[in-house]
A and B are shown apart, each in its own frame.
Chain A
């Protein structure tokens, strides 16, 4: 056992060192690496209720978009009138000083994390009472409705979008990329520690009980609703944070194309978790990495056919690969996952095939 812990510790420290060194090793890919961190956060937190709890949500994009708008609005609204900012479009008469920018970003991120958590708690009781496909469609509706409605609100830019404050001039040109990379990497580490902590407690077992048979779990005396809401609130917290960072990184918020982008980010997070393997700790992380590399590596070759490729990819993954990479590995090397394998039985099965 202690050998196992040592091995894991070395692995974590290795990843941490690699994560810190990455922007200096690959200076050209800083933005891509930051996006990768955000994607991993989204996939991992989707997995909390999608994979562990069995509540397949299309609506986590709601918290992501909410966080994005809130972070940017707070960052602007703390120092300047928000309405004038959004009205002036791309040409800014107000400029954030570095101190203002970082203060705004810090407060904005806190708000972006806390408010979606509260929202998830408030709507959780009504929404999480729905089961199966009703829950999936309801959350899909929530995401799209949020996009459509925020596209009609004047103060956050309505249809013309919302430009987030540009990064202030603090010396070198690389500082913007580095700042956002380390911010998103920090959030990633935070998410990983939190999720790993959760998965080693009784809470995870309760979530799995809900996934496997909710009525039985309820009959055994577990207050399922309470745990479902807490699970969703944890997702919302990190989705909001990820959204806030992504808003600053992209620099421009549009209601349906960037913030509440159910057609892209909302599906990506589900797809990444399924590709890696639902209901595992490492699955969404591997899935997000593979997906991002595939997307960035090959996207440009499709020349406008990206969405066609995405549609085909969804269908193929869902139909032929629903267990994901981790599920496939588990089938191939069950010993590594702590499963006891009877060699005779295995040989007999191979012969049967």
Chain B
């Protein structure tokens, strides 16, 4: 336990700003998860692994001398097709089934991806250096890497684009209609199979963007996927499905929580604290909801 973070206010400011910039990135991943959860009623455990795969695409561009920021464009395009391939191979067989089947099937995909990435890219922690420099704030007491600001900006940009797309385009309307009532949408001529594939593709593309940004700002490693899945799951259950401001706010909240946990408990407990927070949130939710069922007792 280290409470230095409360004795020096500047460290708190640093942690808050870091957390908010990180949280925006989490919110982008969580938005993808909310999308597929809402539309297809599937919880994708492999979400985090899609993120990491997107990160490796950007990292490879960096290795071949292309500036990794271009990964933000390339990675979602590749990931869109990866997402559609996963949908065609596995997900379309579990869409109408029990939720646990989808959880276990995507868990299998997650293990598969983890290991394939381990073979393809090695088990080293890597990052794509963007050379963006840093910004100093408050008399040089707070240091913010420009790459983090860049990633937050790009995340917001993509989120806004997606919201407009979902509102205005024909596919967006079809997706929203399927989310509301898949059967009715089918009767009215929406090709739900296509909508599902597109939804999963868009989700994977969002993961690709987030992954590319993570490879610039933080580090990526083949086994780091599961925490991202858990974070996005947590954000979605706190905010609820289809509540974008809520997703953004709880994403930032989670980011700030993590930064403070990092300072107070130490870095070795960072991932543990995320998982523990998940358990606490679910338990809190259970007690809050159980009041509604009390008439049964």
Contact = CB atoms under 8 A, between A and B. Distances in A.
B282 A138 contact: yes
Interface residues of B, number: 43
A160 to B, nearest CB: 13
A134 B111 contact: no
Contact of A137 (B108, B282, B283, B287): B282
Contact of A151 (B107, B226, B268, B286): B268
A16 interface: no
Ranked 5 nearest A-B pairs via Cβ: A311-B112, A314-B108, A148-B272, A145-B275, A307-B115
A193 interface: no
Interface string A307-333: 110111111001100100000000000
B115 A315 contact: no
Contact of A312 (B108, B271, B278): B108
B275 A141 contact: yes
15 contacts: A126-B286, A126-B287, A141-B282, A142-B275, A152-B266, A215-B296, A263-B114, A267-B111, A307-B112, A308-B119, A311-B114, A314-B107, A315-B109, A318-B108, A319-B105
Contact of B276 (A136, A145, A304, A319): A145
A148 B104 CA distance: 22
Contact of B278 (A56, A141, A159): A141
Contact of A152 (B113, B237, B272, B286): B272
A270 B104 contact: yes
B269 interface: yes
Given A141-B230, A311-B112, A136 B103 contact: yes
B194 interface: no
Contacts of A307: 111-112, 114-115, 118
Contact of A56 (B100, B118, B266): B100
A27 interface: no
A144 B282 contact: no
Interface in B171-201: none
Given A137-B43, A218-B296, A127 B226 contact: no
Contacts of A310: 108, 111
A132 B118 CA distance: 32
Contact of A145 (B100, B105, B116, B272): B272
Contacts of A152: 266, 268-269, 272
B13 interface: no
B276 A314 contact: no
Nearest to B284: A126
Nearest to A144: B275
Interface string A258-292: 00000100010010001000000000000000000
Contact of A129 (B119, B226, B233, B290): B290
A145 B279 CA distance: 9
Interface centre among A127, A134, A141, A322 (most CB of B within 10 A): A141
A304 B115 CA distance: 9
Contact of B100 (A133, A142, A313): A133
Given A307-B111, A318-B101, A318-B105, A127 B283 contact: yes
Interface centre among A132, A304, A322 (most CB of B within 10 A): A322
Interface string A168-211: 00000000000000000000000000000000000000000000
Interface string B227-243: 00010010001000000
Nearest to A138: B282
Contacts of A314: 104-105, 107-108, 111
Contacts of A122: none
Nearest to A126: B283
Nearest to A270: B104
A130 interface: yes
A65 B115 CA distance: 23
A133 B104 CA distance: 10
A120 B278 CA distance: 18
A338 B178 CA distance: 43
Contacts of A151: 268, 272
Contact of B282 (A134, A215, A318): A134
Given A126-B287, A133-B99, A152-B266, A315 B108 contact: yes
A25 interface: no
Interface centre among B109, B118, B278 (most CB of A within 10 A): B278
Contacts of B93: 319
Nearest to A263: B111
